[in-house]
Amino acid sequence: MQKSTFKLVAIVGIFVLSTIASFAQNEVEEGILVPTATPFLNISPESRAGAMGDAGVATSADLSSQHWNSSKYAFLEQDMGVSVSFTPWLRNLVNDINLYYLTFFKRVDKMSTVSASLRYFSMGHITFTDDNGNPTTTGNPNEFAIDAAYSRLLSDNFSASIAFRYIRSDLLNGSGTAGASPGNAFAADLNFYYLQRVKWGGRKGDVSAGLNFSNLGSKISYNGGTDEQFLPANMRLGGAYSTEIDRYNKIGFTMDINKLMIAKGEENQDISVPASFFKSFGDMTLEDFMFSLGAEYWYDNQFALRAGYSHQDETRGNNKYATAGAGLKFNMFTIDASYIIPLVANNPLANTIRFSLAFNFDEMTGKNKRPTYKRKR
C-alpha cells in the first residue's frame, strides 16, 4: 500500500485546521466529530469581507458577492464586471497552497442579473512513497467549484437568488492508490437580501440584512460511493448599517452569524442530507455559532479602511482572530487587500493575506451608466 511523505501527512492536518478556520469546522459533540468534506467551500475567498472578520452576507453589493450572497447583485449599480482574488493559504505551515477565485456579473434587465464564479484550491506538489519510504509518484492534489446564479429584485427593497454548484475534489491526484477516485458533487445556495434607505439622527444611511444557505447538495465520495461524507452545508445570517458622516466620509458596520447545518453525533453520519439539515436545527446550541464583526470606512468613495473580528467557541475549535485591510477604488478597477491577526497561539491562519482586483466593465467600455431601475429612498 502506498503512503505519502511528511508533506502529505501535513496536508491532511491542514485540512482539519482549515476546516476549523473557515466556518466549515467539524462540530464536536461529546468528543465525536461530524466529518465534512471540501472545507475550501467555506473559506472566505476575497479581500473585502476578509478584512471585516469574514462578514459579508449583508454588506453592500460588490463584484465578489457570489460567495456571500448572490442576491446582492440585483442591487449592484453597474451593468457588468469581473473580479479576481488570490490567497496564499496557511503560509505558516507550507508555501505552495493557494486559493484562486474568479467571479463574473452581468445585468440581464432592470430587475435581474446573472453571475458565475470559479474557485480553485491548489494543495501544491506532493511526492508519494511506498511503505519503505521510496518515492513512487508525484501529484498535485486540488479542488475546484464552479457556480452559476440568478438574482432578481422581488420589490424595491428585497431580492432573492439561487446558485447551482459543481464540485470536484481530487485529494489523491497522482498517488495511484487502489480504489481511490476524485470526489464529485452538486450543490445549491439559496439567498435573500433586504436593503432600506433610512435617516437616523439627521444622517442618511442604509440598513440591510442577508440570509444565505450554502452548499445544500449531495454527499461526496472518494472511493466510488462506498463511503460518503457531507458537504459543509452552512447557514449565514447577518445585518449591516452604513451612514454618510459628511460629503466625503462614510462608515459602516456589519455582523454575521454562521452555523454548520450538519446533524451532530456518530449515529447521524449515515442519514440523508435533508434529514441531517433539518435535524441540525434541533440539536443546535449557542456554542455551535460563529460570530463575525466588521467595520468599513470610506473617504470620498475612493479609499477604504477595514477591520473586523471573528469568534469561535473554545469547544468548537477556539479559532479567534482579528482582521484588517484596505482598498483603493479607481474609475475602471478596485484593489483590495486583507490580513489576519490571530488571537490564539499557533493559529494556522497567521500571516494570511488576501488580494482582490475588480474590473468595472461600464467604465472600461465607456458605457458608464447606472441601470434604469430606481430603488425607493
Q: How far apart (Å, rounded) are the C-alpha atoms in residues 200 and 181?
A: 57
Q: How far apart (Å, rounded) are the C-alpha atoms in residues 116 and 359?
A: 15
Q: How far apart (Å, rounded) are the C-alpha atoms in residues 194 and 208?
A: 5
294-309, pLDDT tens digit by residue? 999 999 999 999 999 9
13-46, pLDDT tens digit by residue? 444 334 433 333 344 444 345 678 999 999 999 9
Burial classification of residue 128, based on how many CB atoms lie within 10 Å of its CB (0-12 exposed, 13-18 middle, 19 or more buried): buried
Q: How far apart (Å, rounded) are the C-alpha atoms in residues 316 and 98?
A: 25
Reply yes or no on whether the pLDDT at 373 is more than 50: no
Residue range 3-364 forms a domain whose CATH class is mainly beta
Domain boundaries, given as residue ranges, for the chain? 3-364
Contact 53, 44 (CB under 8 A): no
Q: How far apart (Å, rounded) are the C-alpha atoms in residues 346 and 93?
A: 10
Which cell numbers hold the place of 72? 446582492
Q: How far apart (Å, rounded) are the C-alpha atoms in residues 214 and 234?
A: 5
259-295, pLDDT tens digit by residue? 999 988 878 888 999 999 999 888 888 888 999 999 9
Give this prediction's pTM. Answer: 0.86
Beta strand segments in the chain, E: 3-4, 28-29, 32-33, 80-88, 98-107, 112-122, 126-129, 135-139, 142-153, 158-170, 183-200, 203-217, 234-244, 249-260, 290-299, 303-311, 321-329, 333-342, 353-360
